[in-house]
Amino acid sequence: MLRIGCHLSASKGYLHMAKEALSIGANTFQFFTRNPRGGTAKAMDEADVAAFRDFAAENGIGVILAHAPYTLNGCSAEASIREFAARTMLDDLHRMEYTPGNLYNFHPGSHVKQGVETGIELIAQMLNSILWQDMHTTVLLETMAGKGSEVGGSFEELRAIIDRVALQDKLGVCLDTCHVSDAGYDIVNDLDGVLTRFDNIVGLERIKAVHINDSKNPLGARKDRHEKIGQGTIGTEAIVRLMTHPALRDKPFYLETPNELDGYAAEIALLKEKWS
């Protein structure tokens, strides 16, 4: 069964997102835990969460993906910025306990002149400070485009972070098609080669979610500008090959393309048709 959805606004709550997902042919969705630029999260609405859980069970909505604010930087040179990232993520993870068994994705961070080794060490330290044994969420490191001093643009960097974390069974990876292409991994012409490399370095079983995006820029551009499916340098056929690859076809897929709801509905319909 194809598990596919897109990024939705969380402003009207969980039940609203589930209904919206269903209305566009999706059976999962991604959302920001709070304003994508950071800031405080709304208090958890337990009635909404309970209604969401019933609705999701009745309608086959599964494995939802929460996305951390993208401005957090757990490997900043400034302790106060690192502490803010850790505090925010820990708060998010406590909130995620209301919807156990789901996924929480974050951008590893930018080391800003400290060097990638220091960045890796600080990210691992943060994860070690916030993960706990009995948590019910899997925390995903997103594969990054490698723009600026972003950590996580190579599979080796993701592996190095995971290696330094004590509770490794709480960790996974979210593979972003635009990001890996921008980082120089040729998923268009050498998908098998890229996945073999990922398997050798990180392990394909670590992939718990896939962000499905076309890219505005060519292979290796290190830009991170998402494009609509079929309108970028990756193309529909390469995306469908990735989504139907035996190593990935059972993973949940989330569109983060520049679309409104009707555009997402059209992309979901197209990918469902091609996937079957």
Q: Which is nearer to Zn ion, 157 or 224 (CB)?
A: 224
Residue 267: contacted member of Fe ion, Zn ion, none (CB under 5 to 8 Å, by partner type): none
Degrees (nearest 5) of the Cα angle 204, 183, 259?
90
- The structure tokens listed for 125 are 């330290």
Q: Which of 20, 150, 157, 176 binds Fe ion (CB under 5 A)?
A: 176
Q: Does 214 bind Zn ion (CB under 5 A)?
A: no
Rounded Cα gap, residues 78 and 63, in angstroms: 34
Rounded Cα gap, residues 172 and 169, in angstroms: 8
Q: Which is nearer to Zn ion, 9 or 168 (CB)?
A: 9
- Site residues for Fe ion, 102-161, by CB under 5 A, read 142
Q: Which stretch binds Fe ion (CB under 5 A): 7-15, 31-39, 91-99, 206-214?
A: 206-214
Q: Does 224 bind Zn ion (CB under 5 A)?
A: yes
CB of 182 to Zn ion, least distance (A): 8
Contact 171, 138 (CB under 8 A): yes
Catalytic hit among 34, 111, 206, 211: 211
Rounded Cα gap, residues 145 and 152, in angstroms: 8
- DSSP-derived secondary structure for 20-56: HHHHTT-SEEEEESS-TT--PPPPP-HHHHHHHHHHH
Site string for Zn ion, 129-168 (x = CB under 5 A): ----------------------------------------
Q: Which is nearer to Fe ion, 3 or 15 (CB)?
A: 3
Catalytic hit among 92, 142, 157, 182: 142
Q: Which is nearer to Fe ion, 199 or 256 (CB)?
A: 256
Contact 180, 213 (CB under 8 A): no
Catalytic hit among 82, 111, 206, 226: 226
What Cα–Cα distance (Å) separates residue 106 from each residue in 8, 165, 189?
16, 15, 28
Q: Does 182 bind Zn ion (CB under 5 A)?
A: no
Catalytic hit among 67, 82, 111, 159: 67
CB of 178 to Zn ion, least distance (A): 6
Catalytic hit among 20, 150, 224, 267: 224
Its sign, for the CA torsion 90, 92, 98, 103, is negative
Rounded Cα gap, residues 259 and 184, in angstroms: 25
* β-pairing verdict for 214-215 and 226-227: antiparallel
70 given a catalytic annotation: yes
Residues within the interface to Zn ion (CB under 5 A): 224
Interacting residue ranges for Fe ion, rule: CB under 5 A: 142, 176, 211
Give the catalytic positions in this structure.
37, 67, 70, 107, 142, 176, 179, 211, 224, 226, 256
